[in-house]
Amino acid sequence: MNGLIAAIGQYYRQELGNENSPAIATLKTLIEFLKKDLSLTALGLRENVRSAIELLKNIEPITEVESVAEIYFRFITLKASEYDKFHELKSELSRRSDVFLKKAMECRKKVAKNGHPFISDGCTILIHGCSRAVNCTLAEAKKAHKIFTVFVTESAPDMSGKTMVEWLQSNGINSTLIIDAAVAYIMEKVDIVLVGAEGVAESGGIINKIGTYSVAICAKSMNKPFYVLAESYKFIRLYPLNQSDIPDRLKWKANRDFENHPLVDYTPPSYITLLLTDLGTLTTAAVSDQLMQLYL
């Protein structure tokens, strides 16, 4: 067990290096762990997988790692009580793991399919942060021969907006990087706002890159649609009512020297127009029902 635990971090980082998202890297790591685990009982296997999940949460304390790990754990153990023989149980867990991974890897394409109709020809879009789901949706809109302009916030402190603009321009999408302080100024020119999400809470609100809430407030004040593009494996069983309700483990990484400068914020559902997901187009009120189905 100790040897496997020690290898989890290395395997996870290797999967991240293969251009996988943190969620997909988490799934692939847990599936590899499940295959190599030497437990002889169902209880032992369950405890070991649980330990692996907790370790991954510590290695990468972000919302999508926690959400996908918990949904995965619930999914693979759902039928565990139906198997008396351990080898049959482990075989079924491996099968369900492969099914879950396949579905998860298809989520982003489904998000793009459901999201790109909201991008009209000739529209101007504002983006905050660097989201793979947003990238995929914009690429799908371009493939449909739509012409649109994108403004991207620089997204301090990691300046991920610069990475986003480089990707957009390399894919032939007209884009401009703006400073975060220019959001209100540029909002007058914008038709829609698109953001991703690190996590979608039970309330229908989202936990995402710091500054998302500010952008949402600005969009609401100017009556601009604020759309969230998110995969269903980012739905998480949290119900924050304000910023202080976000768990500390998700606000900061190892260094907490700057406690007034968290990495994420919470955007309440009242500021979100629609959630564009692989499950379809959802209102914020529908999220709790979808979460219930994911965990049953």
CATH value at residue 53? 1.20.120.1070
CB count within 10 Å of CB 188 equals 8
Q: Where does a domain end: 60, 89, 107?
A: 107
- Average pLDDT over the chain, rounded to whole? 91
* pLDDT number for residue 110: 97
Across the range 48-55, mean pLDDT stands at: 91
* pLDDT number for residue 249: 85
Distance of CA 215 to the CA centre of its chain: 18
Q: Where does a domain end: 107, 135, 155?
A: 107
Across the range 96-103, mean pLDDT stands at: 94
pLDDT tens sequence across 178-229: 999 999 999 999 999 999 999 999 999 999 999 999 999 999 999 999 999 9
Q: Is the peptide bond before 247 cis (omega within 30 degrees of 0)?
A: no
Q: How confident is the model at residue 16 (pLDDT cuts 50, 70, 90)?
A: confident
For 118, left (φ over 0), alpha (ψ -120 to 50), or beta? alpha
Residue 33 in this model has a pLDDT that exceeds 70: yes
Residue 19 in this model has a pLDDT that exceeds 80: no
Residue 147 in this model has a pLDDT that exceeds 80: yes
CA quadruple 155, 134, 264, 272: dihedral sign? positive
188 lies in which domain range? 111-295
- SS3 of residue 161 by DSSP: helix
* pLDDT number for residue 172: 94
Domain check: are 155 and 93 in the same one?
A: no
Distance of CA 33 to the CA centre of its chain: 22
* pLDDT number for residue 129: 93
Residue 246 in this model has a pLDDT that exceeds 60: yes
* pLDDT number for residue 37: 85
Say which residue, 119 or 45, is predicted with more confidence: 119
Contacts of residue 128, Cβ cutoff 8 Å, sequence gap at least 6: 152, 153, 155, 161, 183, 193, 195, 209, 211, 212, 215
* pLDDT number for residue 9: 84
Domain check: are 165 and 239 in the same one?
A: yes
* pLDDT number for residue 42: 87
Q: How confident is the model at residue 258 (pLDDT cuts 50, 70, 90)?
A: low
Residue 109 in this model has a pLDDT that exceeds 80: yes
Q: Which of 267, 179, 188 is nearest to 230 (CA)?
A: 267
- N-term to C-term CA, the chain: 29
What the block records as the tokens of 118 is 């909201």
Residue 160 in this model has a pLDDT that exceeds 80: yes
Contacts of residue 76, Cβ cutoff 8 Å, sequence gap at least 6: 34, 93, 96, 97, 100
Structural domains counted in the chain? 2
* pLDDT number for residue 58: 86
Strand order in the sheet with 206-209: 199-200, 206-209, 264-267
pLDDT tens sequence across 77-95: 887 778 888 888 889 899 9
Dump strand ranges (E) for the chain.
Answer: 124-128, 149-153, 175-178, 192-195, 199-200, 206-209, 226-230, 264-267, 274-277, 280-282
Cα atoms found within 13 Å of the Cα of residue 198, Cβ hemisphere only: 24
Domain check: are 223 and 239 in the same one?
A: yes
Among 18-22, 231-235, 236-240, 269-273, the range scoring the smallest mean pLDDT is: 18-22
Find out whether 142 and 168 touch, Cβ atoms under 8 Å.
no
CATH value at residue 289? 3.40.50.10470
Residue 118 in this model has a pLDDT that exceeds 70: yes
As a dihedral over the C-alpha atoms of residue 288, residue 273, residue 71, residue 93, rounded to 10 degrees, the angle is 110
Find out whether 237 and 70 touch, Cβ atoms under 8 Å.
yes
CB count within 10 Å of CB 261 equals 12
Domain check: are 90 and 141 in the same one?
A: no
Q: Where does a domain end: 68, 86, 107?
A: 107
Residue 106 in this model has a pLDDT that exceeds 70: yes
* pLDDT number for residue 208: 97
